[in-house]
Amino acid sequence: MNTNDVVAKRILQLLDERHLSQYKLEQKSCVYHGAMNRILTGKNKGITLATVYKIACGFNMTLNEFMSDIFQSEEIEVE
């Protein structure tokens, strides 16, 4: 898995856990719909820390909270 795949997996997990729609997350995080779709469908080649930060804020989480689970449990390919 690459970084984008792991972030996408975490987003989908949190959307499900929090019963939040993708649209609502996009509004709360100020991440455009097209960008969010590219992340979630794996069409994005890489994801910036700034975007991950916005998404974490959209979930009312710190960056550390958002990233803690995913980077401890996954094998990530760094490109």
Per-residue pLDDT of the chain (79 residues; tens, 9 = 90+): 788 888 999 999 999 999 999 999 999 999 999 999 999 999 988 899 999 999 999 999 999 999 886 666 556 666 6
The whole-model pTM stands at: 0.87
Q: What share of the chain is helix, strand, coil (3-state, %, to 5)?
A: 65, 5, 30
Exposed / middle / buried, residue 20 (Cβ in 10 Å: 0-12, 13-18, 19+): middle
Give the SS3 label for residue 16.
Answer: helix
